[in-house]
Chains A and B, each alone.
Chain A
Amino acid sequence: MATITFDELVRQEQEAIQVSSAGEFNPFRERDAWLERLDELYGKVEEFLADYVKSGGVKIAYESIRIEEEQVGSYSAREMLIFVGRKTVRLEPIGTFLIGSKGRVDVVGPGGTGRLTLIGRHITDISQLVRVSVSLDGSLPSLPPRMSLSERGWVWKMMGRPPKLSIRELTKDSFLDLLAEVANG
């Protein structure tokens, strides 16, 4: 038996969105900001590959995929497809409500998978993403303020595989190296 009427559910949800839009954490705004950052990433990759596209060695296309995240439900996002001769590499957006990062895109090819992650500009090591100090005597530090995606300071970087999860700057050279690795299956 339902414990809440549909009218009540609609009202609750509207109120939740209004509270969120009054300056609190708003998951829908975060989702939209993540999709904008995704477009920025694709723009950057198109720049990296511009010469190859011009010469006909590489082709780029996009497909729409669905992403499911608990905070915002299901939404569509663009997936980039890079065709290098007979090889296809997909830039697959994973989502934005993640542990330690504001977004992740997997670079998937026949030779493996690489990762692009949207993290704070100052982050150079994975432990900076996951650390909160809790003292053994039980004293409680306050929670760090949650930074919105719309704030400045988030950049796309490359993340290695576990266990190292090394973090590298995303440059044309580093991206082309990654592309060569994952495309070469």
Chain B
Amino acid sequence: MANGPTADWHGLVEIAEYHNDVIAALERFFTPQPDRLEGSLVNQSAADLEIVLANRRKETDLRSCLVLLASIEASFRVDYGTRCSTKRKDPLSRDLRLIYKKYGLRVSFEDDLLRLWVHHYPVLKPVVGELRGAMKYRHWIAHGRYWQPRLGKRYDFTEVYVLALAVQEQFPFVN
């Protein structure tokens, strides 16, 4: 069982910096200087380019949200792995080890991990509620966005980033 994240794992700051770099690059690419544009973008008006840029920003925002939400889930799974392999004595770790005996690493993030965290730390219920809501957004993106999601609020990179920070600040992960 892995005890910690691999070198491929990206922290919140790295994800945000990558996101900002992509947005900056897109803004530079779509600056109306036709000699710098390629393919289907040549000969488009400044107003058209603005619309294309807005769509690219939106798409980038959505993809970055998926990476952020996956990273949040990874934090829980790494913590789970560590608690199950280090024989910690606290009640949460004991319960997680019981789950591990049954499901191993194929544990459900929402049904098992989040449920046990709230059971042992009721004070975290508000942020777990937010997280469950955001996971609907994650599923919608990850499964191809072919249906109209009923999310109950608008998600974007900033909102999901604040949620990720709240998780990082509030959950006493042991990884």
Interface residues, chain A, CB within 8 Å of chain B?
A: 67-71, 94-95, 97-100, 104, 110-113, 115, 126-127, 129-132, 134-138, 140-143, 159, 161-163, 165, 185
Contacts and interface: CB of A to CB of B under 8 A. Distances in A.
Nearest to A163: B16
Contacts, number: 103
29 contacts: A68-B151, A70-B133, A70-B152, A70-B153, A71-B152, A94-B156, A94-B159, A98-B159, A99-B127, A99-B130, A99-B163, A111-B27, A127-B169, A130-B170, A131-B170, A132-B124, A132-B170, A136-B172, A136-B174, A138-B120, A140-B121, A161-B16, A161-B158, A162-B16, A162-B19, A162-B157, A163-B12, A185-B50, A185-B53
A134 B167 CA distance: 12
A130 B31 CA distance: 37
A136 B20 CA distance: 34
Contact of A163 (B13, B31, B120, B133): B13
Contacts of B172: 134-136
Contacts of B19: 162
Contact of B166 (A67, A95, A130): A130
A110 B50 contact: yes
B38 interface: no
